[in-house]
Structure formats: structure tokens, C-alpha cells
């Protein structure tokens, strides 16, 4: 068995990605607060902020905030609609470049990837030098900046990339992982959101170091398998492999209603058109999917996602529709009005990859 010791893992995350791509396209935006969001209508739209430039972040604007709130915080910002096609194209080029620098490559989202460079790094004087080379290439070819975290495992690399944004580079030496993690807040661990943070705080756990020092049984008692995971990550013992992946992990779309909707017939109409759209893209891209997901946001912004998987991949619209409808049903009796619904497919497989297909349906 190949030892996982001595791995060099990079986590690369583009800086204010959608906003940076817009700035690259229109240099007049340089230095200005730029806010990207669905249907911005000059700040009066009903969508949420996808992202914003670092200039806008100084005013407290951030992802997932209602556009109207962002407008109050930063009325002089430039508001732009989401041009997903453009970002997708740039993302594909950036990911191809990152892939070329890696032994194993795993795309995590539109602007984020893990690279296992354990072998490749031997061609350079240090991991630092390889990371700088990658940053230079992305800047030269795409005019964009990114932040890179370097560590012996994925979880530490991901945390490292977030520490010196934008245009950051943080290298964690293998013997310094615990020292690096200890003082950081537990919320830096991927998957520890506000709720989890509160539950940890109620046990007196604020930092990753405090988490690391807990008896393992105490954590599993409170959090099950997730407790074990937290303990591993906190102690720098996580050893997940970088899983080679396809560039596109999911295809989806969502719709924010002009006015909150209480009539389920309207919701169903909208669902039909979202299913149509997603299905068209599935066929265009030549994918099969195994998982259908829905997203639903109520008028008070409470948001839920649900998904349902099947064993055997398919590209049939009927399946997509049936699953999506089934998943939405759960929310039908809620008295609140709806603000947004979304549909996506994931666990994608290119048609014709028979070897993988066989593995999947085993
Ligand atoms: P992130 O990497 O989370 O954010 P970012 O690249 O804009 O900024 P940072 O410098 O902090 O990394 O997400 C990547 C893109 O995904 C982002 O540019 C827009 C999109 N996105 C949304 O549409 N909605 C969201 O809630 C988030 C978090 C991101
Ligand atoms: Mg980013």
C-alpha cells in the first residue's frame, strides 16, 4: 500500500472569482466595489449576492446576502448580473491549467480545486516555488489572482488557502501542521457552520486546538461519525485522497420569483421549466446523472436542499422531473411563501465511459 506520508497537497481558490472575471473583462471596473448577483436591477432586485470584489467587502457586503441589503451597505457599487457562461468558460481554462501542474486533480467547485503534487513538486526547488509558478501562470494567462494553501493533507491545505486572501500563499510544513491548526477557530474546518460552531462552543470548544485535545469518545458521543472526522482533521491526521474528477460535477439552475409565491401551481410551472433547462444541458454536455437535487428558499430566507440518488445513471427527463417533484413535496404544506426554487443533477458520468458505468451500476 502506497504510504500517504510525505504528500504535498495544494488547495487553490480563485479570489472573488465572478467579480474578478468581470473586472478582467472590463478594466474600467478596476479598484471599484463590484457586486455580482442574480437580477440586481441597480441594487433593487430580489436576488442574493453571488460574490463581490474585495473593495465591496470592506462595506460588509458578502455572498448570499440579499441584494437590497448590499445596496444599503454600498450604494455606490457597480451591480452586475451573473454571467455564468463566461465564468464557466474561464473556470474550465483555469482548471485545465491547474490539472496540468498536478499528479492528481480534484475540482471542488467552479473556482476551487485540490492538487496532489507529491511527484511533480520534485521538479521544483520547493513546494513554495511550484505554488508561485502556478500563481504566475494564472495571472499571465487569465489576468486573475488566486490563493494557495500547501500542506500534507487536504483539510489543512484548504484552511491554509483561506488565511491570506486575496493573492495569498500559505505553506504548512509537515511537522508544523498541529502548530498551524491549534490557534485557529474551529469554524475554519470545512463543514463547521454556525450551528456546529454553537454546539462546539456549548462544550467549551472554540479553537481547533481545543477540539484536538478532546477525548475521541466525547466527540463521537455528541456528533457520531462527524465527531471522529472533526477529531482527525483537528489533529492533522486526515488522509483523504485527492480524487481525480471530471471538470463539471453538477448541472443546475435556479429561479428567484419576482414576488414571493404561495400558489403551488405556479411553483410547479416553474419547476417544469427548470427541469427542461437542466435536462437540455445534460443532453448537450453528454452526461448521465445519478442524483437529483432541489433547493427551496422561503420568504424568510430559510433555505433547504434535498437530494435523491439512484444506483444506475440515466439521462431521462422523466426521472429528473419525478425526483424533483418528490423532493419538493415535503415543503408543500408549509404556510410560508416561496422565494426561490432550484434544480440540479450531480454524480455525473460522461456517456460512453463504459468502464466507469459498469462500476457505478455494480
Ligand atoms: P468563493 O470561492 O466562496 O468566493 P469568491 O471566489 O467570490 O471569493 P474568495 O476570494 O473569498 O474566494 O466562491 C466562488 C464563486 O462561487 C463566487 O465568485 C461566486 C459563487 N458563489 C455564489 O454564487 N454564491 C455563494 O453563496 C458563494 C459562496 C459563491
Ligand atoms: Mg474563491
Q: Give pLDDT tens digits for 11-59.
A: 999 999 999 999 999 999 999 999 999 777 777 778 899 999 999 999 9
Of all protein residues, the one whose alpha carbon is nearest to atom 8 of ligand 1 is 16
Which of 92, 124, 113 shows the shortest CA–CA distance to 21?
92
Q: Which long-range contacts (CB under 8 A, 24 or more apart) does 127-136 make?
A: 127/8, 127/10, 127/171, 128/169, 128/171, 130/10, 130/101, 131/10, 131/169, 131/171, 132/169, 133/101, 134/10, 134/12, 134/97, 134/98, 134/101, 135/167, 135/169
Q: Contact 218/230 with Cβ under 8 angstroms?
A: no
- Measured distance CA(76)–CA(32) in Å, rounded: 9
- Measured distance CA(226)–CA(231) in Å, rounded: 9
pLDDT of residue 353: 41
Ligand 2 centroid – CA 201 distance (Å): 28
Of all protein residues, the one whose alpha carbon is nearest to atom 29 of ligand 1 is 50
pLDDT of residue 352: 54
> Of 106, 112, 142, 238, which is the active-site residue?
112
C-alpha distances (whole Å) from 6 to each of 3, 56, 73, 127, 175 are 8, 40, 46, 12, 10
pLDDT of residue 360: 34
Average pLDDT, the chain: 91
pLDDT of residue 247: 61
Nearest 10 degrees: Cα torsion 308, 312, 314, 318:
-50
pLDDT of residue 362: 28
Kindly state the average pLDDT of the residues 167-178. 97
pLDDT of residue 40: 74
Lowest-confidence segment of 125-139, 152-166, 337-351 by average pLDDT: 337-351
Of all protein residues, the one whose alpha carbon is nearest to atom 24 of ligand 1 is 50
Claim: this prediction has a pTM higher than 0.85: no
Residue 249 has pLDDT above 80, yes or no: no
**Is 30 annotated as catalytic?**
no
Angle (CA) 242-243-245 rounded to 5° is 130
Ligand 1 centroid – CA 244 distance (Å): 22
Q: Contact 40/79 with Cβ under 8 angstroms?
A: yes
* Ligand that comes closest to the CA of residue 54: 1
Strand partners for 105: 115
pLDDT of residue 5: 58
Residue 359 has pLDDT above 70, yes or no: no
CB of 51 shorter than 6 A to ligand 1: yes
Across 7-21, 26-40, 231-245, 285-299, which has the greatest mean pLDDT? 7-21
Of all protein residues, the one whose alpha carbon is nearest to atom 12 of ligand 1 is 15
CB of 324 shorter than 6 A to ligand 1: no
pLDDT of residue 246: 61
Residue 96 has pLDDT above 90, yes or no: yes
CB of 50 shorter than 6 A to ligand 1: yes
Residue 358 has pLDDT above 50, yes or no: no
CB of 166 shorter than 6 A to ligand 1: yes
Kindly state the average pLDDT of the residues 274-291. 92
CB of 238 shorter than 6 A to ligand 1: no
Amino acid at each position: 500500500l502506497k504510504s500517504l506520508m510525505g504528500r504535498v497537497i495544494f488547495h487553490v481558490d480563485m479570489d472573488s472569482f465572478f467579480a474578478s472575471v468581470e473586472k478582467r473583462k472590463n478594466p474600467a471596473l478596476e479598484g471599484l466595489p463590484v457586486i455580482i448577483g442574480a437580477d440586481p436591477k441597480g441594487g433593487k432586485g430580489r436576488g442574493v449576492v453571488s460574490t463581490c470584489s474585495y473593495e465591496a467587502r470592506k462595506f460588509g457586503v458578502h455572498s448570499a446576502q440579499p441584494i437590497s441589503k448590499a445596496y444599503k451597505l454600498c450604494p455606490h457599487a457597480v451591480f452586475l448580473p451573473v454571467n455564468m457562461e463566461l465564468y464557466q468558460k474561464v473556470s474550465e481554462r483555469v482548471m485545465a491549467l491547474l490539472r496540468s501542474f498536478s499528479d492528481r486533480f480534484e475540482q471542488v467547485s467552479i473556482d476551487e480545486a485540490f492538487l496532489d503534487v507529491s511527484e511533480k513538486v520534485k521538479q521544483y526547488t520547493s513546494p513554495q516555488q511550484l505554488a508561485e509558478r502556478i500563481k504566475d501562470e494564472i495571472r499571465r494567462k487569465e489576468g486573475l489572482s488566486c490563493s494557495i494553501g500547501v500542506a500534507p493533507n487536504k483539510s489543512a491545505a484548504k484552511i491554509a488557502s483561506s488565511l491570506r486572501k486575496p493573492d495569498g500563499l500559505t505553506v504548512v510544513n509537515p511537522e508544523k501542521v498541529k502548530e498551524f491548526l491549534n490557534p485557529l477557530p474551529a469554524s475554519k474546518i470545512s463543514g463547521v457552520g454556525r450551528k456546529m460552531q454553537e454546539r462546539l462552543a456549548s462544550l467549551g470548544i472554540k479553537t481547533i486546538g481545543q477540539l484536538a485535545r478532546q477525548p475521541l469518545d466525547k466527540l463521537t458521543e455528541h456528533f457520531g461519525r462527524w465527531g471522529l472526522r472533526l477529531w482527525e482533521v483537528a489533529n492533522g491526521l486526515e488522509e483523504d485522497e485527492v480524487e481525480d474528477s471530471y471538470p463539471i460535477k453538477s448541472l443546475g439552475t435556479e429561479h428567484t420569483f419576482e414576488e414571493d409565491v404561495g400558489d403551488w401551481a405556479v411553483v410547479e410551472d416553474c419547476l417544469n421549466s427548470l427541469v427542461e433547462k437542466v435536462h437540455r444541458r445534460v443532453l448537450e454536455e453528454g452526461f448521465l446523472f445519478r442524483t437529483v437535487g432541489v433547493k427551496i428558499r422561503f420568504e424568510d430566507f430559510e433555505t433547504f436542499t434535498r437530494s435523491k440518488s439512484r444506483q444506475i445513471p440515466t439521462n431521462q427527463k422523466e426521472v429528473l422531473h419525478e425526483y424533483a417533484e418528490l423532493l419538493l413535496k415535503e415543503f408543500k404544506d408549509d404556510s410560508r411563501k416561496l422565494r426561490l426554487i432550484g434544480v440540479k443533477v450531480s454524480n455525473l458520468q460522461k456517456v460512453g465511459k463504459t468502464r466507469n458505468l459498469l462500476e457505478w451500476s455494480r
